[in-house]
Structure 1
Amino acid sequence: MQRTDSLKTKLTLLAVCLGFFMIIMDVTITNVALPSIAKQLGGDISMLQWVVNAYTLTFAGLLLSAGYLSDVYGAKKAFLYGIIAFTLSSIGCGFAPHTAVLIFFRLLQGASAAVILPTTLSLIHSSYSDAQQRSKAIGIWAGIAGIGATSGPIIGGILTSFFGWQAVFFVNVPIGIIVILLTLKYVDCHEMKRKQQGFDIQGQLSGIISMASLAYALVEAGQRGWFSTWVVVSFILFLVFLCVFLWTEWRSDAPMFPIEFFKIPTFSIAVLNGMIINLGFYGILFLLPLYFQSIRGYSVFLTGLAIIPQPAFAALASYVSGRLVANVGTKLPIILGLFIAMLGEFLMLITQHNAPSYWLLILPLSAIGFGCALAMPAATIATIRTMPKGHTGIASSMFNTSRQIGGLIGVAVFGSLVNRENNFVHGMHLSLIIAGSAALFGCVITALFMKNK
């Protein structure tokens, strides 16, 4: 029996997907628990917002450095240590006696998640020697992202209602233990390690500061305003340290991230598409609960049911995408996915205050979920296939950093538009036009300049 068909390989995929599900679920699982946290631990609105935002900040800010360390020291070791750290920090969150302590452990959770994420793709890449089987596995991996993000509020609501807010963190403990045991027994990494020619400390620090500054600015822009002092200063810090990072990496003999990778059109377009896809998917996913509850008067339960078509069709498309890539390559699924997402986003412009019938919204919601998830695995595979051996972790980190930033931009910009407009629906329509136009742009540049991988 070939290695790709073995029980060991399937259990490796299970371990990787469980770990990936856990860190993606934690992006959204705490939202519904915030009122209970405030009641027991105290803290003003700003502190409660940082219970959510602290995780995103370190998650996005440390991805590039984590990917480099994965390449140098090995994906299995980084994945295992990341899962252990994430599990321990989850325990710390559950036992936090004050909101400030909870925020501290959420920062540690985000840092651990940054270590875990790039290793998941590296482990899949090294575990599957057959390209077709690898593409199918990455399709499953990508489907987990949509399921994890959208199931977070549902799982969080159930756990908080029956067991208290601590349960949204303690739920990670049994998952983490299972992943640790599976990793120790079944996970092997056959990926070639990247030779360490020195530690690029200036590149590491400038990369961390630039990404963390951008993440902070985008998180705070929706709350403080785009031209508030802290937001403007954060954007300036991002630009300054981004220039330092690029200059350092260009001149370094042992760069953390070789800048010449961006000279590869397929890599650059795939990374940009990752940002475009998440801008639309997560930006719209952020608006939908507000629309259904505030504008159409749905209950929390009905809102959860109303949103289901988007993640449900996303899971289906991820499964289809891996198989499609195995047969026709990466270019066609990306073009088709972005085009379908664009149609869904423009069709959502039919939304009004109390019209149309919800049943007419199922088609655009399904198209957005299906299109984004059809393109994402293909873009992921295109990114990995363009990289030389030993650089899978840093390539994965760059792609996932782009995805994280895209999601943050979508939430920040779309949130600002609906807040600034006196008419929520008008702000939502502007957001949909931006998302649809971005998808169209990605579709065009992919068709014109991207090679089929």
Structure 2
Amino acid sequence: MRNTSLKFQTVPAAGPNFHPEKSAGSNLPTSLTLAAMSLGYGVVQLDVTIVNTALNAIGTSLGGGVAELQWVVSAYTIAFAAFILTAGALGDRIGAKQVFMAGFAIFTAASVACALASNAAILIAARSMQGLGAAILVPNSLALLSHAYPDEKQRGRAVGIWAAGASFALISGPLLGGALIALVGWRSIFLVNLPIGLAGLWLSWRYASETTRSPQREIDLPGQVAAIAALGCLAGAIIEGGTLGWRHPFVIAAFAASAVLAMLFVLRERRAPQPMLPLSLFGHRLFALTSLVGLLVNVAFYGLIFVFSLYFQHINGLSPFATGLAFLPMMGAVLPVNLVAARVAERIGAPATIALGAALSAFGCLALLGIEPGTSYWAIGAQLAIIGGGLGLLVPPLTSTLLGSVEKARSGIAAGVLNATRQTGSVLGVALFGSLAGQPGAFMAGAHASLVISACLLLAAGAAIWRGASTPEGGTARP
């Protein structure tokens, strides 16, 4: 936003209704609030992908095998998925600004702790704190944007900028991470969050205005505890199952615990006066279907990113920077296809667009089944781009369909559920595919199995949304 002309304006005479701070560019605080919110969401998305290029360097520096690397990635997404709904409720209760700033402070401090970690256990613990900070940042950044832009048209544009910045961060993560590791070392990928965090904190403190507090909004602590424990036990069972064996007593006990905790979570949410996850939302057919699609798609996409990070570095011996370049077609295809997805959805309908995107990504997975150690990158680059393009095509209509399937008053919690289910999918994808590929001497067999599973999940997701939307009940809920 340009304000240079303000320097040459004649200052009006002072009067009882004269407010110089408003006359001197009243939109500047709003624009800088948008900048702060974009930094918050952007740094969250950056850390979703930037760590993958550092897996080999982290493993070499701190020791440990594939299971430890799975925990480095999954600790972040477990906390992200488990806390995001409660974080939004907390912002409603005590004000989104102070909660958002607390999230930025936690994320930034945890990033420094990651950079200073002396062993894998400390790094995993710090990554979980990063995930907590991420869970706080995302819903409250949207709440502050909604507060800063009361006009619906302007708010729509602001959210578009907010989302585009996050997409750019997601895309640039592998490349930026590879460059930083090559020039400085793997610890630098966490230290890069320090200036971003400090800038975001200052802009939020200086320009964001606090939202209306709702003291009557309750925090569902029992539901929160059950959700964290259930997801953590499930991820632990899958990760450790690849190392200890699926019949190991610890693995069996973890699976059993996750099932019991999941049932307790559902029972709690059914009875809670203000549940963390309102189960009534799943009475909307399209809401349930789009949530399922978000889960399945992220299992495939982020699980494959983890596997291919190991493939490029462990199997083909690429440097971190070369690995970042290798991911560029996949990540780079997401943003431009995002921009045309809305037009495609207008022509053929949102469910058909989602199904088409899922089918494209599934085709890309099946086309990669011939991959072997030493396979030329030119033989797989197009397939990676197709996978990314399919994801870019389905996510915008997926989000709009989910939000349009519920009442507007519940759109905030609906968006939170979509984020939670997608992050849960990321946890399960990394855990499952990492366990398959982490078997001694069986990396390529695990990689091929991961591709087949991904294709099946994507095709199932596309079929579910296509079939569900074609029913009378599904059709009436279409946005």
The question of a shared fold, defined as TM-score above 0.5 by the shorter chain, is answered with: yes
Give the Cα separation in 1 of the matches to 2:462 and 2:79: 31
The CA deviation at 1:129 is 6.0
Equivalent residues in 2 for 1:171-182, closer than 5 Å: 171-182=192-203
* Alignment-mate amino acid for residue 200 of structure 1: D
The reply on whether 1:83 has 2:109 as its aligned counterpart is: no
Change (3 A) 1:267 1:288: same
Give the Cα separation in 1 of the matches to 2:209 and 2:400: 21
Change (3 A) 1:413 1:109: closer
Give the Cα separation in 1 of the matches to 2:152 and 2:362: 29
Contact kept? 2:295, 2:421, Cα under 8 Å: yes
The reply on whether 1:407 has 2:426 as its aligned counterpart is: yes
Superposition TM-score, scaled by structure 1 size: 0.83
Task: Look up the match of 2:3.
Answer: none
Give the Cα separation in 2 of the matches to 1:210 and 1:186: 39
The CA deviation at 1:218 is 3.9
Q: Deviations over 1:358-401 (max 9, x none)?
A: 43433321111011122113222333333445544433332122
The count of residues paired between Structure 1 and Structure 2 equals 446
Give the Cα separation in 1 of the matches to 2:59 and 2:437: 26
Superposition TM-score, scaled by structure 2 size: 0.79
* Alignment-mate amino acid for residue 441 of structure 1: A
Instruction: Report the RMSD for the aligned CA atoms in angstroms.
Output: 3.7
Task: Look up the match of 2:290.
Answer: 270
Pairing partner for 2:126 from 94, 105, 111? 105
The reply on whether 1:347 has 2:353 as its aligned counterpart is: no
Give the Cα separation in 1 of the matches to 2:241 and 2:163: 29
The reply on whether 1:58 has 2:87 as its aligned counterpart is: no
Q: Where do 5+ consecutive residues of structure 2 fail to align?
A: 1-26, 470-476
Change (3 A) 1:79 1:117: same
Change (3 A) 1:145 1:404: farther
Task: Look up the match of 1:233.
Answer: 253
Pairing partner for 2:233 from 189, 210, 213? 213
Q: Deviations over 1:294-346 (max 9, x none)?
A: 55555544433232110000122223335666888743432332232222222
The CA deviation at 1:172 is 1.1
Q: Where do 5+ consecutive residues of structure 1 fail to align?
A: 1-5
Instruction: Determine helix, strand or coil for the equivalent of 1:285.
Output: helix
Higher mean C-alpha deviation, range 31-40 or range 403-412? 31-40
The reply on whether 1:417 has 2:443 as its aligned counterpart is: no
The reply on whether 1:376 has 2:402 as its aligned counterpart is: no
Change (3 A) 1:326 1:392: same
The reply on whether 1:308 has 2:344 as its aligned counterpart is: no
Give the Cα separation in 1 of the matches to 2:155 and 2:270: 33
Instruction: Determine helix, strand or coil for the equivalent of 1:349.
Output: coil
Change (3 A) 1:416 1:20: same
Equivalent residues in 2 for 1:252-291, closer than 5 Å: 252-291=272-311
Change (3 A) 1:181 1:255: same
Q: Deviations over 1:39-76 (max 9, x none)?
A: 88x66557676554433332233233223323434443
Contact kept? 1:136, 1:322, Cα under 8 Å: no
Q: Larger C-alpha radius of gyration, 1 or 2?
A: 2
Q: Deviations over 1:190-231 (max 9, x none)?
A: 7x8767364433223222322332333344344444443333
Contact kept? 1:194, 1:391, Cα under 8 Å: no
Higher mean C-alpha deviation, range 334-343 or range 322-331? 322-331
Give the Cα separation in 1 of the matches to 2:395 and 2:100: 22
Contact kept? 2:74, 2:430, Cα under 8 Å: no
Higher mean C-alpha deviation, range 214-223 or range 15-24? 214-223
